[in-house]
Structure 1
Amino acid sequence: MTVDIAGVAGGAPPFALGAPGVYFASAARAPRLVVEPMDEVAFVGVAPRGPAWEPVDDPTLVEAGVAYARSVAVAVDSWDGYLERFGGFEGEGLLPHAVATFFAQGGRRAHIVRIVHRGPDRPDVGRPPPGCARLQLTSPVCITGGAPLALRARNEGSWGNRLVVRLTFPSRPVHAQPLTESTLRLDPGGSLPAGALLRIRSAGRVAVAFVSALRRVGRRGDPRHDLVAVLDRPVVMAGPAVVELVTAELLVTDEDPARLRQEHFPGLGLHPAHPRFLPDVVRQESRLVDVLGDDGGQVELVDPAATEVIARGYGGADRWHLITPEDFFGRLTDGDDTGVEGLDCLLGAPGAATVVVPDLYRAERLPPAPPAPTPAPDPQFRPCRPATPSRATGSAHGPGLASLRLDPTAPKVLERIVALQQRLVAVAERLNLVALLDVPPGLLARQVLAWRSSFDSSHAAAYHPWLRAPADEPAPAGAQRVAGRPVRRDPTGPLLLLPPSAVAAGIIARCELRQGVSRGPANEPAFGVVDVAERVDGERHTELHGLGVNVFLPEPDGVRLTGCRTLATDRAWRQLTARRLLLLIERVVRRQLQWTVFEPDGTQLRAGLQRQLDQLLADLSAEGAFAGATPETSWFVHVASGPGVGRVVVEVGVAPSEPAEFIVVRVAINAEGATETSLSVGPGVIRHG
């Protein structure tokens, strides 16, 4: 029997209780399985700033000598959120442009991984991450031992040189009377936090001391008690004393001309026993700065009468020129299971279902940009302004990404690019993601076919060709943003070459948010894209589509994505919707059925699992995910006890629906000139004649 004792523990019972006694409750229903979103995308690339080399809290990693995680996945829900954490377009990578176009297509959430150079050795507590600006807080504060208190920019980059830190020491009076040189009697109704700093003025002298303990001391012949503060050092107090509680207040300012950022931390303490110890608060809450070195000692106020100290950042450096393609990958394949390097950090981003790596390499030769249109005559005869050059129309790479430059048109270099993309697909398969790949730009038709023959995976989809869009610019200060999207240049200005995978990622997310995971992301417009880098004619389009390469084509109403296939050679896995549907089902089973691990194996458990999975698949069927018209022709669920003790095997089989890729129009004309038209929709080949 089941006895509900929730009321004894103070919780609300699931039914009304009457007189005291034992009540029988019905068995709790298993939680309903819900369809999890698959629209979240991980973007991995180069940014001018953003989380990297973050301190780790896992004791196992600390014991293994891992003090910092080089790569961190950060979720952002808007373009404005990306700007706040990772900066704008001032960097050398394509990452900001890829994220901007993802949100412009209608994407909802992106997981951003900023790649920085690995280096020969990992930094530890005594050796901070490289490239971070320093902020030296000189007298009147220092840490135990006389060393100056120092901060550093939270992550590497020249952006840290714009940091300004202002540390002030506000105070308020405390009602206290000296008892001895090391004790003060406080107001019985008052209280002080552990590790509080007191400033004591007596007989023209000023001294500071930390409160090491608070005690209640009884009075002789009096039931009342005194609250006594024990100081950590003796203070000479001749005559009346004025006691003040001194706290620290930290203001961190990033003087970025494009986006001012500030952090304010009031009520800080300078002793490790304080509940808001300054180094601890900075390390846990600040996005801009971190404490440099060991923060175990207390912070001393050398000048008791000090009111503030100001420090500015220096020494921050951009290390883009050191980044290599190897920095994008972790070390899980080398037996290191830390998961804090490159793409491996996506283990900590379970929401991501797709991965895009726009900066895996930089194509050294790109198709030339079309000439800028001639400006229309000005009826007021004002002088024409010279066109502003754009890095998007000149060199295809910034000067700081030399180690990522690869020329796809060179056969040996193309092999290197293929090897990198194959490695990316292997990571996606291991992490249960779908990798969106870009066909290298500038290839001849036969080279594209050779590139395609190097892949056979349903965890990868390829997109071609590269796309042209107006270059994005950060919004000026005070400018109004619409739906978090960046402010774009005049469409008649220079164009930026975008990787098609970034646009496809936004289209995939848009289609799922609108119609569910079963909606094939094809025949969809690419918002903001004005042209393609290479024209694909009808015959070549047919060939590429048959090989699973998804093509963007310019249409009268704009550029559209025309396919949604994977790079699998197995026909059963050729549709991207089928792969994403199976990943969704696997994700739901792994995450939402964890509660069954410690349940007793039996008929009741297996029947419950059967009902839950049937309910989930029925929900997906209602969205059009399956080809069959009935449950019997759409899916099956088998739940049985597996070999060994304590094992339950769940087998799910589904028949995914395929998108209607072709519409065949047949027109018949009779002898009298009347026409008869019929349409048939479905996969197949359009035959002429």
Structure 2
Amino acid sequence: FGAGAQVTVQTLGPARTPDAALGPQTPAVVLDSITGITTGDVLLIQDPSDDPGADELVVVTAVTPSTKTVTFQEPPRRDHPASSKLVKLTDSAETTTLGAAVTAGPAPVVLRVAAIGTIKAGSIVRLTEGATSEPAIVTRLATETKLASPLVDPHAVGVTVVPVSTHMTVRAQWPGVWGDALRVTVTAASIGATTLDGPAGATDTVIKLASAVGFHPGSVVVLGADTRAVAAAVNPVTRVVTLAAPLGVSVGSGAAVRTQEFTLTVERVENGRVAESERFDRLSVGAAHPRYAPRIVGSWAGGRPSESGGSLLVRLSDDAPDAAKLRPFVDRLTLYLSGGQDDVAGVDDDAYIGQESEDPDDRTGIQALQNEPAISIVGVPGRTALEVQQALVTHCEIMRYRFAVLDVPPGSKLGDARKHRQNFDTTRAALYYPDVMVADPFGAPGDRRAVAPSGHVMGVYARTDMTRGVHKAPANEVVGGVLALRTALTKGEQDILNPLNLNCLRDFRSENRGIRVYGGRVATSDQEWTYVNVRRLLLFIEQSLDTGLQWAVFEVNEKPLWDAVRQSITGFLDTVWRSGALQGTKQEEAFFVNVGYDVTMSQADIDGGRLIVEVGVAPVKPAEFVVVRISQKTREAVA
């Protein structure tokens, strides 16, 4: 039959009883009544056995009224007892069409129909195409289900498919596409397993166990084959468990009793391999249980993940009704999380600038950095909108002790870079050019991606601070992780950009010196703060003194305090000087500290609660240029 053939649902007439068993050797049978049966009718043999495939169809070729005999076109293919019934089939008003062609053969045929309607397992349908017509018994109704995500493992034909209900929802701890790489496996487990010490009635709310080990308030208790209840209280001494509700069915003494818990395994998969894994055993869905899953793993409530929790990857939300918690667990279920969104399109310049607020928790974007007092270097790699960069510079000026590392717009030519530099005149920022080329982590092997240099330059700042000190200019330093520069600059281009205080990155690989940061100037017109290391050294000293002198607040503003402050500052600056950060061969050449009445303070200052200290330092400056003068020397006469 081809696609579009008519499929008609059959209705059943009154049952007729044969006078003998039916089988391959019975081409005809005597019925108790042949009323309404005529040649060409189709009869259904209803076999009394439990086998769903035992029923069979036969076609009537002759009817003998005198003997009530019905002759079949072909005898039945299998044996049927005399207690079987024969039923005449007639067309109903319900019809549909074949969705795909079917062919004859010994194997079971799958019919795809346009509409299921009332068709179910056991229904009889008649296929009609032109003059050809044939009845068929529906032994199984198969439906197709579209899955939201691919299956993790292959499954053979005939595997059992059962509907499941949600006990809890697993969410990635933080939103984003990264969460789609999380593979979650739930395995059914039990903490407690014992037997009933006495029968339990349908109305009972108290049961006694042979052992109460592993049973806790909140435990889902499974009695016998599949009777479930929630434990409201457990007495480990008497082994008595009080249930939250009556059992509903009777369970005999000695029946198996166990608790229903599960094991949660979370894996972060990268390139087909597990990069990170977590496992939590003996978890329960009962809120009163000591191993309540959201409390152990971490919860998700009010649209936010909890800060507490044992998992670094996921959080659980308990949004299922209590009735769902009494349903059985799947023995093992493995799924990937899905639906993660990075919301890259929603992260615009305004998101970076953020919102200022008196309440620290309400600050966003750059403004939220005010909540982190330990930061000394800030940047927004790749964000070159003036509004964002100026907001970052303003933030550094407000926070006093911070320094910003800025980029020129990506792909800028030399003229564009010079033009962008003119937007800044600040002692708390430096600009770097050009972009750097790095390996593309999201591309094919060998692919490269141009990125802003500020992230790499901040790494150079941090490395120089650790190895040499903040007084060393973060320049003539190798930039790690860089494959090339987007624009190759020579000394000629640097001679144009350096006087503008626009710092260059240079490629010296032809001289076996790698790729280096080759500029260390502040984006300012103030000659006193030309160099990055000088500015950052003074910021470091100011912040250290500010922090280190907090002990003096509310002390008596008199000579003992002044002497102690002078000694404290002198000791700190002496350490700075000896590290090579200050000029001079003597301490007095490197710095001075003044404090006292009629020296730095008047009586009005003292009355106003002000302790004023004057500190002067002589920072070292970098040798930015190497100048070699060469002159000719002739042989001199010797007397």
The match for 1:422 among 375, 378, 390 is 390
Change (3 A) 1:472 1:639: farther
Distance in 1 separating the partners of 2:495 and 2:634: 35
Change (3 A) 1:474 1:360: closer
The match for 1:356 among 374, 379, 384 is 379
Aligned residue runs from structure 1 range 366-377, under 5 A: none
Shift of 1:287: 3.6
Is residue 541 from structure 1 mapped to residue 500 from structure 2 by the alignment?
no
Distance in 2 separating the partners of 1:655 and 1:343: 33
Change (3 A) 1:618 1:182: farther
Is residue 285 from structure 1 mapped to residue 297 from structure 2 by the alignment?
no
Q: Is the 8 A contact 2:461 2:474 kept in 1?
A: yes
Superposed CA offset, 1:401-434 (max 9, x none): xxxxxxxxxxxxxxxx333322222233334432
Change (3 A) 1:169 1:660: same
Shift of 1:442: 5.0
The residue that corresponds to 1:554 in the other structure is 507
Shift of 1:250: 1.1
Change (3 A) 1:140 1:350: farther
Is residue 565 from structure 1 mapped to residue 587 from structure 2 by the alignment?
no
Query: What is the RMSD of the two structures over their aligned residues, measured on CA atoms?
Result: 4.2
Percentage of pairs with the same residue: 29
The residue that corresponds to 1:209 in the other structure is 230
Distance in 2 separating the partners of 1:499 and 1:627: 35
Aligned residues: 450
Q: Which has the larger radius of gyration?
A: 2
598-607 vs 429-438, which deviates more? 598-607
Shift of 1:460: 0.7
Shift of 1:348: 4.9
Superposed CA offset, 1:96-153 (max 9, x none): xxxxxxxxxxxxxxxxxxxxxxxxxxxxxxxxxxxxx9x9xx97554xxxxx532333
Is residue 326 from structure 1 mapped to residue 350 from structure 2 by the alignment?
yes
The match for 2:340 among 316, 335, 338 is 316
Change (3 A) 1:567 1:526: same
1:423 aligns to what SS in structure 2? helix
Bigger RCO (CA 8 Å, 6+ sep): 1
The residue that corresponds to 2:427 in the other structure is 458
Q: Is the 8 A contact 1:141 1:149 kept in 2?
A: no
The residue that corresponds to 1:669 in the other structure is 632
Aligned residue runs from structure 1 range 4-43, under 5 A: none
Letter aligned with residue 285 of structure 1: G
Letter aligned with residue 517 of structure 1: V
Aligned residue runs from structure 1 range 67-216, under 5 A: 142=166, 149-173=168-192, 181-183=204-206, 195-202=217-224, 206-210=227-231, 212-213=232-233
Shift of 1:455: 0.8
Letter aligned with residue 340 of structure 2: G
Shift of 1:459: 1.7
Shift of 1:331: 0.4
The residue that corresponds to 1:500 in the other structure is 453
Letter aligned with residue 258 of structure 2: E
The residue that corresponds to 1:517 in the other structure is 470
Shift of 1:498: 3.4
The residue that corresponds to 1:384 in the other structure is none
Distance in 1 separating the partners of 2:475 and 2:398: 27
The residue that corresponds to 1:253 in the other structure is 267
Shift of 1:461: 0.7
Change (3 A) 1:626 1:339: farther
Letter aligned with residue 323 of structure 1: V
Q: Is the 8 A contact 1:635 1:653 kept in 2?
A: yes
The match for 1:632 among 588, 591, 601 is 588
Q: Is the 8 A contact 1:139 1:302 kept in 2?
A: no
Shift of 1:170: 0.9
1:507 aligns to what SS in structure 2? helix
Change (3 A) 1:233 1:628: farther
Distance in 2 separating the partners of 1:287 and 1:441: 35
1:285 aligns to what SS in structure 2? coil
Distance in 2 separating the partners of 1:649 and 1:230: 73
Shift of 1:158: 3.8
Superposed CA offset, 1:45-80 (max 9, x none): xxxxxxxxxxxxxxxxxxxxxxxxxxxxxxxxxxxx
Distance in 2 separating the partners of 1:185 and 1:588: 69
Is residue 272 from structure 1 mapped to residue 316 from structure 2 by the alignment?
no
Structure 2: give runs of 5+ residues left out of the alignment. 1-148, 152-161, 300-308
Is residue 262 from structure 1 mapped to residue 277 from structure 2 by the alignment?
yes
The match for 2:572 among 597, 616, 641 is 616
The alignment's TM-score, normalised by the length of structure 2, stands at 0.59
Change (3 A) 1:543 1:265: same
The residue that corresponds to 1:86 in the other structure is none
1:172 aligns to what SS in structure 2? coil
Q: Is the 8 A contact 2:195 2:211 kept in 1?
A: no
Shift of 1:197: 1.0
Is residue 232 from structure 1 mapped to residue 244 from structure 2 by the alignment?
yes
2:192 aligns to what SS in structure 1? strand
Is residue 344 from structure 1 mapped to residue 363 from structure 2 by the alignment?
no
Q: Is the 8 A contact 1:327 1:342 kept in 2?
A: yes
2:456 aligns to what SS in structure 1? helix
Letter aligned with residue 208 of structure 1: A
The alignment's TM-score, normalised by the length of structure 1, stands at 0.56
Superposed CA offset, 1:530-584 (max 9, x none): 5433344545423422232111233322333222121122222222112322333
Q: Is the 8 A contact 2:186 2:262 kept in 1?
A: yes
Change (3 A) 1:275 1:639: farther
